Amino acid sequence: MIEVNNLHKSFVSKKNTVRALDGLSFTAKDGEITGILGPNGAGKTTCLRTLYGLLRADQGEARIDGIKVTQEPIKARKRLGIFPDKFGLYERLTAYEQIDYFASIHGMKGIEKQTAIEQILTDLDMHALAHRKTVGFSQGQRMKVTLAQALVHQPKNFVLDEPTRGLDVMSTRILRAHLAKFKAKGHCILFSSHVMQEVAALCDRVIIVANGKMAAQGTPQELCELAGETHLEEAFVKLIGSDEGVAA
């Protein structure tokens, strides 16, 4: 379970102050896929970075399974699988070595680690890539490696920052199936995206973020009803109060 409570965060520089988060609160429950929707600059990435413990909120707190991220960042991160906004690969390592590396960081070892890696390779259909160095991988292949390294330790909570960009249809479907499987097992999935169909198809609950605050929340259906629109996209535009940023 991921809880975010009244988060405030401002970035102060000499010239100006940017208020990225302004009292954002939401809860992503176990056994559900929660989507965060928001225009660019709404504070999605800042919120997620606070969740990882990379940034410290000015006010408010984030908890993962009840553990305060600011107090016990390492314990909290152990329960987290992260698919970051910007991701890179260790280009001199093979895909297998890289997944192995992250599994070891999460404290897995021996047979347990090997089976976990084999499992994730099978799940994501990556055996053909596994022993190639990751330099020169296509966007979709990079995506898969990053997913695999985030999922290998079977995290209870799983945070994805725009995971489907650059994935082909097959991989997107695999990802979706995977997320559904995780959900069925009772994991908590938090998911940020720009793609409305994606969110509408996958998410049990959607949180719309604008200007560092929550603008609305509910099931996709509820949001449509709330805005009096039939499509989530129209509802989204109406709910954030402008059509700015939607094109991105």
Query: What is the nearest approach in angstroms of other proteins to the Cβ of residue 88?
Result: 3
Contact between 128 and other proteins by CB under 8 A: the answer reads no
Q: Which is nearer to other proteins, 89 or 226 (CB)?
A: 89
Contact between 156 and other proteins by CB under 8 A: the answer reads no
Query: What is the nearest approach in angstroms of other proteins to the Cβ of residue 60?
Result: 16
Query: What is the nearest approach in angstroms of other proteins to the Cβ of residue 72?
Result: 10
> Looking at this protein, which amino acid is placed at residue 121?
L
| Nearest alpha-carbon partner for 108 in 68, 155, 64, 69 | 155
Decide if 20 contacts 46 (C-beta within 8 A): yes
- Percent helix, strand and coil across the chain, each to the nearest 5: 40, 25, 35
Decide if 162 contacts 193 (C-beta within 8 A): yes
Decide if 94 contacts 133 (C-beta within 8 A): yes
Among the listed residues 10, 27, 31, 87, the single contact to other proteins using CB under 8 A: 87
Among the listed residues 35, 38, 39, 53, the single contact to other proteins using CB under 8 A: 53
Contact between 67 and other proteins by CB under 8 A: the answer reads no
Contact between 221 and other proteins by CB under 8 A: the answer reads no
Query: What is the nearest approach in angstroms of other proteins to the Cβ of residue 73?
Result: 8
Distance CA 29, CA 191 (A): 12
Among the listed residues 18, 23, 40, 92, the single contact to other proteins using CB under 8 A: 92
Largest interatomic CA distance in the chain: 55
Helix, strand or coil, per DSSP, at residue 245: coil
Distance CA 28, CA 25 (A): 10
Q: Give the x-and-dash track for 163-202 against other proteins (CB under 8 A).
A: ----------------------------------------
Contacts with other proteins by CB under 8 A lie at: 11, 49, 52-56, 73-78, 80, 82, 84-93, 97, 101-102, 104-107, 109, 146
